[in-house]
Amino acid sequence: MTSIINFRRPLLIQGLSAPKGFGDSTLRDPRPDAIELLGGIPDPLLLPTDELAEATARILKQPGAPSLQYGRTEGLTLLREWIADREQVPVEEILITNGGFHGLSLALSLVVERGDLVAVDNPVFPLFLRGLELNAGQILPINVDNQGLVVDELEAQLLSGLRISALYTVPDFHNPTQATLSDERRRKLVELAERFGFIVIADNPYRELRFGPESADVTLFNTSNQVIHVNTFTKTLGPGLRLGWVRLPKHLIKDGVALRSRQDSHTSLLVQSVVADYLTSSPGVFDDLLDTARSVYRSRALTLATALEKEAPGSFSIPVPEGGFFLWPKLTNPDIDSDKLAEAASAHGVEYQRGAFFSSGSGTDADRRLRLAYSNVNESQIAEAARRLANALQSLG
Amino acid sequence: MTSIINFRRPLLIQGLSAPKGFGDSTLRDPRPDAIELLGGIPDPLLLPTDELAEATARILKQPGAPSLQYGRTEGLTLLREWIADREQVPVEEILITNGGFHGLSLALSLVVERGDLVAVDNPVFPLFLRGLELNAGQILPINVDNQGLVVDELEAQLLSGLRISALYTVPDFHNPTQATLSDERRRKLVELAERFGFIVIADNPYRELRFGPESADVTLFNTSNQVIHVNTFTKTLGPGLRLGWVRLPKHLIKDGVALRSRQDSHTSLLVQSVVADYLTSSPGVFDDLLDTARSVYRSRALTLATALEKEAPGSFSIPVPEGGFFLWPKLTNPDIDSDKLAEAASAHGVEYQRGAFFSSGSGTDADRRLRLAYSNVNESQIAEAARRLANALQSLG
């Protein structure tokens, strides 16, 4: 092995932290029979595997195999048109991505100068902070309550003189708190963005998985010049596709395409073609899929909340989620050590994310909470997980 | 429409140039019946469309649909193992990418500090320079002759005191010149990299498409600590997959994974799974595919060279390629205006890339050359293209 002379890691690379906490499987040592309530993972039984295989067969029979050739950086027109029609935005504003996280990464590079201050949810989706390392961004945590981001707190910080280039929030079925940003706060947030000249990065992976009849209104996110609306098929058609989109305001489209073309040209045209073929294969095919998924996930959310209350009565205060994949229960007994509980739970065969992993600053009760994913466990696993968690609680004395 | 207040584009974005020349279709206005000798595009008839559809059907039948779930940033183990076995490198050194261009972009971010000097082929694959804009890299052009990069010229520059953090070259069937770097120069290049502490980015999209029995030796590129070897399935299985890999030296693996995980998590696991299933479906399936492709492309290269000499005797000096997708003929008559020739050719219904687009500095004859892609045109189209080009030449008087 020859020696490495003079090799100097670029600053960008030096700024990337080692894995820790959330998402770091090396920190876990689960039991072989562990029930995992860990990730925002859709149930594979709810994914349209047969339909995607059929779509692939159709797509690969097209003369000239266009899905195996180069495509446009913006994405496949058929897919962008389907999305634009559904979202009621001009097709030019839709840029296809390799999933939601890629959308976040693009959004950050488009609007955040290195070292800029970026306001973020507190608690926050932790991988966003890891993505922000590429921009060496500094964070300004803004609390999230049961109506989502506390926009008045952001306003106070801005009025005190702080300046941000972007704000990051998950507006619908917030990860981890499950709160949905109220309509009034949506309006005020965009007004602040216009007034103080920052861009809102609205990260919306779970929005289609609502349990109630009405979606939250995303019109502002799809029309404002101050908002990049980040969306994905990850939670509905599967993370493994790596397929999503951003709705970019007009003034960022050219930059977005220029940046993307220099990263990896475009998203797999085979994946785009297959998904577009599936989505347009019959009217309502996607809504039918969503209806089934919503019903299953809603049932699991209720089952888990009910089972926790049954197995460990009074131990948790449990906000009932209105959509998404997670429960965010709070320990009612302040004497319980939540790190010890997570260790005991692991020993009892149930794995979840500790609430403390989601803090982006002080002032929240995240370290008293658990993020429990119910999306990829069946009803009997949920019941067993609740029993194990109750036993773990008891074991702490 | 609300106004955009205070929005300041990040420096990285400001550094991205507008499209121009190579690859900018807005500059072309082809005839409806134009024959396109433009891009490094594989013939779709040579791509394994049926086999990929069958592989997809198998993959999407797997219990739990693992190909639709999250995967490891490094890539799918089965695919990495197949590549590592073929390349005779440790599997840890293989990082899956979204195609060759993505590999270049990752390599640059891993080793080039913003504003660093990067040595590049002259003439060069122009999109590399566009990718380098993300790093605000300055370029040091090094000439390419019929044995590839002139390594002695690089050495002289280094001895004169210039320092580079990376060198970019296409070693096998160079794009556009078609030269293959000699074994002696390979050794000397890596020695220089060790001595002067830079990283060689060896971009090798065409290497499998050799016309002769022997491949160039890539052992050094797969073993040296100073080389990132960038590879792709783009030219063999199709650009639309967006699937490739980089062989990273050990000291760059951790950084490579950290960087990639912050961009877009990982390459489509569906695409990786389908290709891995296809590649392992029977022994030799990939080599059989390559044998057919090599034979077809070799025949087209010879047909085009022969037809050009027949239709426009003595007008071109034509190096015979030993692999790849391109001819790089030189105009023998110095009085012919090569820009005017390209315009006349377009009017006569044949489109190609002007040699001038490939210059990275002075001192080459690139502006006297044409890059003619024969990969995605059949033999009769090739004959007709040569006739049209000869007519275009004649039309210049």
Sketch out chain B's domains with CATH numbers.
24-41+287-395 (3.90.1150.10), 49-279 (3.40.640.10)
| Inter-chain residue contact B262 with A110, CB threshold 8 Å | no
| Inter-chain residue contact B53 with A52, CB threshold 8 Å | no
Kindly report the average pLDDT of chain B as a whole number. 95
Decide if pLDDT at B27 tops 90.
no
| Inter-chain residue contact A44 with B64, CB threshold 8 Å | yes
Closest CA of chain B from A322, distance in Å: 24
Which helix (H) or strand (E) segment holds residue B45: the answer is none
| Inter-chain residue contact A265 with B134, CB threshold 8 Å | no
ipTM: 0.96
pLDDT digits (tens, 9 = 90+) for A352-386: 999 999 999 999 999 999 999 999 999 999 999 99
User: Average pLDDT for residues B293-297, to the nearest whole number?
Assistant: 98
With 0-12 CB in 10 A as exposed, 13-18 as middle and 19+ as buried, what is B245?
Answer: buried
Decide if pLDDT at B83 tops 70.
yes
Chain B residues close to A16, C-beta within 8 Å: 255, 258-259, 262
Tokens describing residue B215: 């491949």
Amino acid in the structure at residue A99: G
B7 pLDDT tier (thresholds 50, 70, 90): confident
pLDDT digits (tens, 9 = 90+) for B349-377: 999 999 999 999 999 999 999 999 999 99
| Inter-chain residue contact B68 with A133, CB threshold 8 Å | no
Kindly report the average pLDDT of chain A as a whole number. 95
Look at residue B44 in the predicted model and tell me its pLDDT. Answer: 97
Helix (H, G, I), strand (E, B) or coil at B130: helix
Look at residue B24 in the predicted model and tell me its pLDDT. Answer: 60
Closest CA of chain A from B75, distance in Å: 11
CB A81, CB A242: distance < 8 Å: no
| Inter-chain residue contact B50 with A67, CB threshold 8 Å | no
- Please tell me if residue A358 touches chain B, with a CB cutoff of 8 Å: no
Decide if pLDDT at A2 tops 90.
no
- Please tell me if residue A260 touches chain B, with a CB cutoff of 8 Å: no
The partner residues of B144 in beta bridges, in order of sequence, read: B149
| Inter-chain residue contact B242 with A265, CB threshold 8 Å | yes
The partner residues of A34 in beta bridges, in order of sequence, read: none
Closest CA of chain B from A201, distance in Å: 14
- Please tell me if residue A44 touches chain B, with a CB cutoff of 8 Å: yes
Q: CA-CA distance, B280 to B278, in Å (whole number)?
A: 5
- Please tell me if residue A246 touches chain B, with a CB cutoff of 8 Å: no
- Mutation choice for A interface testing from B52, B68, B230, B273 by most A CBs within 10 A: B68
Look at residue B8 in the predicted model and tell me its pLDDT. Answer: 86
- Please tell me if residue B133 touches chain A, with a CB cutoff of 8 Å: yes
B18 pLDDT tier (thresholds 50, 70, 90): confident
Look at residue A28 in the predicted model and tell me its pLDDT. Answer: 65
User: Average pLDDT for residues B115-144, to the nearest whole number?
Assistant: 96
Look at residue A1 in the predicted model and tell me its pLDDT. Answer: 41
- Please tell me if residue B251 touches chain A, with a CB cutoff of 8 Å: yes
CB A355, CB A367: distance < 8 Å: yes
Q: Which residues, numbered 296 to 355 in chain A, qualify as contacts with chain B under a Cβ-Cβ cut-off of 8 Å?
A: none
Look at residue A4 in the predicted model and tell me its pLDDT. Answer: 55
Closest CA of chain B from A314, distance in Å: 35
Please state the length of chain B.
397
CB A374, CB A326: distance < 8 Å: yes
Decide if pLDDT at B2 tops 60.
no
Q: CA-CA distance, A334 to A338, in Å (whole number)?
A: 9
Look at residue B397 in the predicted model and tell me its pLDDT. Answer: 79
Decide if pLDDT at B216 tops 80.
yes
B21 or B211: which leads in pLDDT = B211
pLDDT digits (tens, 9 = 90+) for B32-55: 999 999 999 999 999 999 999 999
Chain B residues close to A68, C-beta within 8 Å: 44, 47, 49, 52, 237-241
A297 pLDDT tier (thresholds 50, 70, 90): very high
Paired sense of beta strands B370-373 and B199-203, if any: unpaired
User: Average pLDDT for residues B89-113, to the nearest whole number?
Assistant: 97
| Inter-chain residue contact B57 with A57, CB threshold 8 Å | yes
Task: Tell me the three-class secondary structure of chain A, residue by residue.
Answer: CCCCCCCCCCHHHHCCCCCCCCCCHHHCCCCCCCEEECCCCCCHHHCCHHHHHHHHHHHHCCCCCHHHCCCCCCCCHHHHHHHHHHHCCCHHHEEEECCHHHHHHHHHHHHCCCCCEEEEEECCCHHHHHHHHHHCCEEEEEEEECCEECHHHHHHHHHCCCCCCEEEECCCCCCCCCCCCCHHHHHHHHHHHHHHCCEEEEECCCCCCECCCCCCCCHHHHHCCCEEEEEECHHHHCHHHCCEEEECCHHHHHHHHHHHHHHHCCCCHHHHHHHHHHHCCCCCHHHHHHHHHHHHHHHHHHHHHHHHHHHCCCCEECCCCCECCEECCEECCCCCCHHHHHHHHHHHCEEEEEHHHHCCCCCCCHHHEEEEECCCCCHHHHHHHHHHHHHHHHHCC
Which helix (H) or strand (E) segment holds residue B107: the answer is helix B100-111
Look at residue A251 in the predicted model and tell me its pLDDT. Answer: 96
